A and B are shown apart, each in its own frame.
Chain A
Amino acid sequence: MSDTPPLSITTRKLNLWYAKFQALINVDVDIKHGIITSLIGPSGCGKTTLLRCFNRVNERYGYVTTTGEIKLLGKNIYDPDVSLIELRKSVGMVFQRPNPLPISVYENVVFGMKIHHERSQLTRAALDEAVEKALTETGLWKDLKDRLDHRATALQLEQQQKLCIARLLPLKPEIILMDEPCSALDVEGTRAIEELMFALKGRYTIVIVTHNMAQARRASDECIFMLLGELIEHSRTEDLFLKPRNPKTAEYIEGRYG
């Protein structure tokens, strides 16, 4: 076992119901640390639901029942001593539509720091440094350094989405969850976000839900195929696309349904 990389996310017998509808059925998954894992499958197969389990944000949407076990970095996130606030601080999420907050670029980046620290602990210099670091890492610094006081909601979509990633970084997350982060972007924007994902992997575990099979193929190291709430296949991306083990996977990637 010494040559396998450490695991970031593991689930065992994970079941989830929205009221009466079962959205996840006995999902067992092992997501490795520091790589990009993509979740693919037709609409309604439970990809986004699974993603939202990893920071327990599903619970905010009401009428959700979950059974089974989810471990992040070896810690069961349903343990009674788990603080949802600390959990969500370590597990960031990026959404389909870029959703920067309707405040300035600067305030967006430091928003997370401000809500997780006493005001007296934060100096202006520390905040400035965090903003420069996060924006540099996401490739926004050059374009935005003179517009830090501009409204984030007035930026181009691609910049907004990068900013949504940038605002997670000052919290030093372990895992970044992305829910179809490129579906609102054009080709250039998509490429920019994918390049950003490559730049961030290694330090962060990235899990990305995508509708776009070509994107999963291009941009992920491992790939998980889901169908009707069940995990069908999880393997290295090349293997999944070139030598699918399950006939359902083969049919999906050939475009027979989806």
Chain B
Amino acid sequence: MSPLSRRAALRLGAAAAATACLGARDTFAFGDASKVDCVEINMPGGSISRPEAWSRLLFEIEQTTSIETVSRVPRIAPEDPALFEHPFAALVGDGELKPLSDAAIEQLRRYLTYGGFLLIDDATGLKRSAFDDSVRKLIGRLFPTRSLFPLPSDHAIFRSFFLINRPVGRVALFDHVEAVSLGEITPLVYFRNDLSGALSRGADGRGTYPCTPGGENQRREAVKLAVNLVMYALTSNYKQDQAHVAELMKEGRL
């Protein structure tokens, strides 16, 4: 074995220090209980499970932002009270959702009213689908007096971490995101470009599904949007505070 050169030793030391720094925070943590995770809602009918997509998203958040995450993606029925332990929830589907019981609807409504966040992701990649119809019926039952509306381009979701110009997923059929707002808060987002499809990756680290028509650049934009959604779920309209708007405008980024 050749002796370690001075430069090699310095590089090794720097790498060790960097590794220590990167990993140091985990040793401080309270534990996984207080970290951010994602729960999948298991609805009867056409809901599907893509835990690898949300795990990938949580990893990306951990790498990119200061949010502490844990790769935990439980799958919970809407009437399960355990839903309230996970304020960020996702519902992915590609088929018609069967109607929920009144108790499940009431619980979902209470979840969203008291601070939970629900991302509904249309995995069909189609402009018209049975899933879309059933989602609109579901939202009609959840919020009879409020309707889905396209989020304006200056909504905090599009600037909560990244500046998003066009919301895309595995596909890019729709240039907008629909949502339901309660006052200044938007607790329910309905995305129809198959976000989880863009996030899903196989064991080899490659995307499970090809993104069309933009390829990997589109996937990258989809990841950025997904990060923004989680960031919005945690910070709500923080990025619409005057301090941020003024500063971003001053720097020419808005």
User: Do chains A and B interact in one complex?
Assistant: no
Question: Taking beta carbons and an 8 Å cutoff, which residues of B are in contact with A?
Answer: none
